[in-house]
Amino acid sequence: MYLSKTSKVLIQIMPEEEWVKEIFKLCCLLYPENIGKHYLGFNNPSIHIMVDCFQGKLFIQILLLLLALVLSSRHSDQ
């Protein structure tokens, strides 16, 4: 991830597991105006999403929160 001169955040996700796809779908619902149009598809090696800096921070916080929820639910299943 990096910040460009236009104060946009590029978020790159490696869509290797199903839960990553589910989190991405949730984020598309939350920020359709920025994320949906930059969705390259899961056939590509990665997904690139452009959001402004403020939304980028929120997006990352949501990703981390969902990741924590996924990992904790997986841990409790075992």
Going by the DSSP 8-state scheme, the letter that residue 47 receives in this structure is E
Distances from the Cα of 59 to the Cα of 43, 65, 72, 77, angstroms: 22, 10, 20, 27
Q: Tell me, what's the pLDDT at 66?
A: 72
**Please, which pLDDT band fits residue 68 given cuts at 50, 70 and 90?**
confident
Question: Each residue of 17-43: pLDDT tens digit?
Answer: 666 667 667 766 766 655 544 444 444
